[in-house]
Amino acid sequence: MQKTDDEPKGPTSLQRGLRLLRVLAGAPPDGMRLSDLARLAGETEATAHRLARALTAEGFVDRTPDRRYRVGLDFFSIAARAETADNLRDICRPALLRLSATLNDTIFLLVRSGLNVVCLDRADGPFPIRSFTGDIGGRIPLGMGQGSLVILAYLPPDEREEVIRFNLPRLIDRGPIDEAFLRTEIEKVLASGHAATDYGLLTGMIGVAVPIFDTTRRVVAALSVGTLTERLTAERRAKVVELLNREAEAIGRRLSPFDPALRHPARFLGGVRAPG
């Protein structure tokens, strides 16, 4: 081989091994044969085999009984154990401040927690706002309020149905809602990409919310703005949604799907992690 240029080459076997991981993560739902793996990674079969063997020995790759390779469960385990330095609240705070300052309204950050949604943070605007969510730490059933609704809407179908089945009584109990209404609103959310339903419970108030997806396209949270109904003309709403979405997307790109804050929001409410 001739060395034409002086690329800052690193340990080749590491580079190649990682590329194998990428390839494995890339396509197959049920694993990949060695020959395909080699071809896609641009390696000879001998080399791919050697690397795959090492990856397997280290637990980063699993082998299926029919001799196929796939990303290993240990990999999942390692990733889940890795703590991302910033929890969701820290990541989102600048966005909340920006939105609050730009829109002159109150911004909420909502995270799902089982069958509920928890308000993880808020940045107040100049107008006093009443909301379903209430203050930081506030907890409402999935489906009640715009931010909550938007999360519910984007859940995987199975899961969404399950949540609805359980929460419907709670929702009916707390507001002028029935199943038909809820389903209609969910459809609206999925069609428009945001929630702006007026529940009619907080007179003069209205909210607009957009979903935050993690890097695997799962809903994990919602950004929501609470404002006075009169302030939200149709054209302003479009603008608001656009701004919210821009921030939501930026946030989503930075989210690990394993962030503990997404799983146990309550632990992070105090700003300090609770033990256990």
Partner DNA sequence: TTGAATTATTCCGGCATACGGAATTTATCG
Partner DNA sequence: CGATAAATTCCGTATGCCGGAATAATTCAA
Q: Output the six-digit token pair for 268.
A: 């992070």
- If one asks whether residue 19 binds a copy of itself (CB under 8 A), the answer comes out as yes
Q: Which is nearer to a copy of itself, 196 or 268 (CB)?
A: 268
Task: Find where tokens 């715009």 sit.
Answer: 146
- From the list 67, 71, 62, the residue with the least C-alpha distance to 34 is 67
Nearer Cβ to a copy of itself, position 196 or 262? Answer: 262
Residue 44 interaction partner, one of DNA, a copy of itself, none, beta carbon < 5-8 Å per kind: DNA
Contacts of 44 (CB under 8 A, 6+ apart): 38
Residue 56, H or E segment? helix 45-57
Q: Find the binder of DNA among 5, 7, 30, 46 (CB under 7 A).
A: 46
For DNA, which is the closer residue by CB, 28 or 137? 28
* CB-side neighbour CA atoms (13 Å) of 205: 20
**Geometric angle at alpha carbon 247, from 244 and 253, rounded to 5°:** 135
Pick the closer one to DNA by CB: 46 or 234: 46
C-beta separation of 127 from 227 below 8 A: yes
Minimum distance from CB of 19 to a copy of itself (Å)?
8
Give residues 8-27 in contact with DNA (rule: CB under 7 A).
9-14, 16
**Site residues (CB under 7 A) for DNA, limited to 25-44:** 33-35, 43-44
The CA distances from residue 74 to 70, 82, 260, in Å, are 11, 12, 18
CB of 12 to DNA, least distance (A): 4
Asked if residue 154 lies in contact with residue 211, where contact means CB atoms within 8 angstroms, the answer is yes
- Is 236 a binding residue for a copy of itself by CB under 8 A? The answer is no
For residue 190, how many other CB atoms are within 10 A of its CB? 11
Q: Decide if residue 170 touches a copy of itself (CB under 8 A).
A: no
Counting contacts by CB under 8 A, is residue 161 touching a copy of itself?
yes
Q: Residue 76, interface with a copy of itself (CB under 8 A)?
A: yes
Residue 237: how many other CB atoms lie within 10 Å? 17
Q: Which does 46 bind (CB under 5 to 8 A by kind): a copy of itself, DNA, none?
A: DNA
Site residues (vs DNA, CB under 7 A): 1, 3, 9-14, 16, 33-35, 43-47, 49-51, 53, 66-67
